[in-house]
Amino acid sequence: MSSGRLLALLLTAATVAFIVVGTLWPMDSARAMAGTQAGLLPAPASPEAAAGNLLREVARRNWEEAYSSLANRNEFSELEFMRDFTGAYPGLRTYATLDSFELHPLHASGDETEIRAVLQWSTAVGTFPDVRDLQVVRTGDRWQVAWPIVKEARVPPQVIPVNYLRWDVIYRGPEDDWGTQDVEAPHVRIVDMHPIDRGGGVVVLGEILNEDVVPAFTTVKATLSAKDGSAIATEDAFDKMCHILLPKQVTPFRIDFPDVRLSQVDSIRMAPSPNLVAASADPVIEIEDQKLSSLPEPALSAKLVNQSGQIVNVARVLATFYDKSGQLVWVSGSYADRALLPQAAVPVTIPLPADLASKVSSYRVIATTYSSSRFQ
Amino acid sequence: MKILLTLWLGLAVSISQASAQTRALTLPRTVPAGAALSVPTNGTGEGVLYIVGPMEVLKRTLQLGDTVVFHQGELHNAGHYTAFLEAPSSREIVDFDVVAQAEPASISFLAKPSRLAVNLPDGISGVAYLFDTFHNLILQSAQVSFHLSETEGAIQTHLVASRNGVAWVQMASAPKAGIAQFLATAGGVTEKRIVQQVPGDPCLIKMTARRAGDQLVLETEPLRDCRGNPVADGTMVTFTETYQDSECTVDAPLKHGIARALVPAYSGSVISVASGVVMGNEIRWQAGR
């Protein structure tokens, strides 16, 4: 009985000791679960710790704590700081979460250190990186980050007249006679198709032209067939194509078959599926300052400028890369992480595989948009 | 000889009359669909009359010697019918046909395609199926008139006789783009379809550039196809500006026949324009011109 009491006493004492230790020196994960109070955090003893603490608060969307830890709070408000991450208008950033980050010290000189922070944001359409060079300064016994804020362009209040062009469709109704023909589906044509063996899989690259005078919502499926005629796999282009094609518009497409070897494939059956949809011809997006950077990280950079009056919440760019003979080399895409305000440039970067960079001679870029307030 | 012939004819008539008197059921060979029908019967006692036709069976209990009446609309499906008269001591079977009414009441009109390029020989086809009030296909030949009226008022007309209930025609699309009305008329019935005749690719793309601040306003002249039709609004026109090692592209839709875009004004830049597979002119922009 006495040994049982002793054990109970020991367990109680150990529990109290662990609670005290956990409260005074909490682990990062415990802080995240508990919702850290500033008083519980130790003063960052190194520049990396200061930057790490700040970005962890950002990941938790704890804007107040993050803002209060900054060295340059006098340069911007907490709201502006928050909008640097979420965007002032709904866009890809609004719904993104900070998945991970890496810190790379660049320079250090006494009370000031420069650190490159590579933030990986996670969204429904994939991840996007955000690179910021942080100045970390020592203030007394603690290090603080001077946040390099990127203020979004503001558009002054104004009225922008736009002549909208859109197509409405009257489909065949249930009461119509059987002889009443429905509206003709748009005519689209695959103008180029080129399979390549890449990364242990097959990639089908191509381009589709809308030959018609009406908009077409188009999907493309490819079926790989073996020599005995059996289907190996069927995939579609998903977001590696522009689905709404206006008259005479050309979109590239890329269909990935990750687990198939080109040597297994005897034939490829392409099935474009166009449907007539009500659509709008606006907004018009200018893709300016397109530049192809070379190795070690080849990419096509550009700036998107919205030439219409409507705010574009999500913009996507697709690039088609060609070799000297005009043959398709690669199709790649990317999203603008911020909303496009009228006449405000937003940068985008489209990655290009390093081993293909030397083959690329020319390229073509198109943009597609989504607006939550699209006029219906 | 004359006397012999007269006697023979008289004998034949009397045999025929006797035969008719003995038949319990008398029906015409053909009956128009939906028409009222009176069926006289002969004999005595009770009987049951069954009429079996396409998707239809009618039954009447009757006193032999009475006339059975089928009202308007009761026999409305065209096709082959059989009447069975069941009497206590006999059974009689008579075949007859219900035929569609001669006058069309509706037309099922298939016009294809609903949208096609201008000036296409035999590009438009129209098929008309003629039906009566009860939606029976009218197999008797009837005249069907096909009219294709174009935007500028020109009308193509073809008069076609239906065969087995169907009349068809092929027509050329007009050289001028626009909405055409395609009509099929038979009897007093007309059915209308819309055929959109659309222009082809642009024949020539010519753009101009003018400076507006630090930008260039690029604008095409109104685009037309090689037959002079305005190219459809919404058609994409791509402007490309090349300056040193960078490019700027704008995909702009035609509005009122004109595509318009803004690009940065760089002295020494080269600007080109294209739509689909058709290239336009090229401008080398030097400061101010």
Output the pLDDT for position B2.
54
* Chain A residues within an 8 Å CB radius of B256: 163
- pLDDT tens-digit readout, B231-262: 988 899 999 999 988 899 999 999 988 999 99
- Structural domain count, chain B: 3
Whether residue B142 is found in the same domain as residue B192: yes
pLDDT > 70 fraction of chain A, expressed in percent and rounded: 93
Pairing of strands A216-225, A142-146: unpaired
Whether residue A128 is found in the same domain as residue A41: yes
* Chain B residues within an 8 Å CB radius of A165: 233-234, 253, 255
Output the pLDDT for position B72.
87
Whether residue B120 is found in the same domain as residue B182: yes
Q: Which string of b and e fits A274-295 if b means at least 16 CB within 10 Å?
A: bebeebbbbbbbbbbbbebeee
The more confident residue out of A361 and A176 is A361
- pLDDT tens-digit readout, B142-176: 999 999 987 777 788 999 999 999 999 999 988 88
Residue A33 has pLDDT above 70, yes or no: no
- pLDDT tens-digit readout, A269-284: 999 999 988 888 888 9
Residue A175 has pLDDT above 90, yes or no: no
Whether residue A342 is found in the same domain as residue A308: yes
Output the pLDDT for position B13.
43
Average pLDDT for A259-264: 89
The more confident residue out of B13 and A323 is A323
Inspect the interface and report whether the beta carbons of A165 and B234 lie closer than 8 Å. yes
Whether residue B178 is found in the same domain as residue B211: no
Residue B1 has pLDDT above 50, yes or no: no
CATH number, residue A335: 2.60.40.1620
Residue A360 lies in domain: 282-370
* A interface with B, Cβ–Cβ below 8 Å: 163, 165, 167, 177-184, 209, 211-215, 246-250, 281-282, 284-291, 307, 364-367
Average pLDDT for A356-370: 91
Output the pLDDT for position B282.
93
Average pLDDT for B114-140: 91
Average pLDDT for A346-361: 91
Output the pLDDT for position A59.
92
Average pLDDT for A74-83: 90
Q: The whole model's pTM is what?
A: 0.73
Which of B38-44's residues contact partners 24+ apart within 8 Å by CB, and which partners? B38/B67, B38/B68, B38/B69, B38/B70, B39/B67, B39/B68, B39/B69, B39/B70, B39/B83, B40/B67, B41/B65, B41/B66, B41/B67, B41/B68, B41/B85, B43/B87, B43/B90
CB A72 within 8 A of CB A50: no
Of A184, A288, A290, the CB nearest to B115: A184
Residue B244: CB atoms within 10 A of its CB come to 9
CATH number, residue A59: 3.10.450.50
Residue A41 has pLDDT above 80, yes or no: no
Burial class (CB within 10 angstroms; exposed 0-12, middle 13-18, buried 19+) of B122: exposed
CATH number, residue B77: 2.60.40.2550
Average pLDDT for B214-228: 92
C-alpha distances out from residue A353 to A127, A236, A327, A330, Å: 17, 21, 17, 9
Whether residue B111 is found in the same domain as residue B193: yes
Angstrom distance (rounded) from CA A187 to CA A170: 18
The more confident residue out of B18 and A176 is A176
- Structural domain count, chain A: 3
**Does ipTM top 0.90?**
no
At A366, list the tokens.
């198109």
